[in-house]
Amino acid sequence: MAFHRTMVTMGHVAAGGFGSGVSADTYRAELAGKAVWKLLVKTLEVFVPGRTASIVDVRITTAPLLHQAPVFVNGTGFGLQLRTGRALREPEREIYVRGEGGRVIGIAIVGQSAAIGSRTLDARNVVRYARRLTYQTLYDPGDAETVSAAVRAARALQDVVFLDPAAGIGLGVEIDPVTRIPLSRLLVSFGDGPAVNVQAYPVVGRPAQAVRSQN
């Protein structure tokens, strides 16, 4: 699987609530500068061509609506309750690197939700799965020198987008760079049209800062 270096805008996660007097437009403007949003747009472009997400249509809410599966909200953002099942194929994925020296990692994953290994699709389980995939993607059993690089990349993971187009669902997760607590900020659902529906958990962070990766 390709290991790409790209330039994204790095944001920060902070606690907040929708009742804090901040407008939905302010939340959307902050979200537009987040790496997790940019990663979602890139994931759709690469793996689900013909599907798009628009920041102006994002619904900011702590009471998400979803027809495809039961959805809940807790201290780590959105979560879904899934049916039991077994993944029949390996997911598609791509790893993106940003930050000085490539020290910040994002991964786009498109596949079956059953591969997560839990009936609960939430921030913790998505990140656990994403770290495992990051390691497996970068580790070469025939090259012992890849072990340390794969471990570092898994630990440096900061943004994850997981989409299951067949089930019509997905999540976008941020990992706080300081506390390392994951937040499932984006809830994605696929309808009949080309545009996917995105709901965002309302948090306000510090202004995003552009961080260039090394080529």
Mean of the per-residue pLDDT values for the chain?
Answer: 84
Q: Domain locations in the chain?
A: 3-211
Residue 193: exposed, middle, or buried by beta-carbon count in 10 A (0-12, 13-18, 19+)? exposed
Query: What token pair was written down for 25?
Result: 């437009």
In the chain, which stretches have pLDDT less than 50?
1-18, 206-215
**pTM as predicted:** 0.84
Contact 82, 119 (CB under 8 A): yes
- The DSSP secondary structure of 74-120, one letter per residue, reads ETTEEEEE-------SPPEEEEEEESGGG-EEEEEEES-GGGGSSSE
Contact 5, 214 (CB under 8 A): yes
Neighbours of 191 (CB within 10 A): 12
Report the amino acid identity of residue 78: F
pLDDT tens figures, 174-205: 999 889 999 999 999 998 889 999 999 998 65
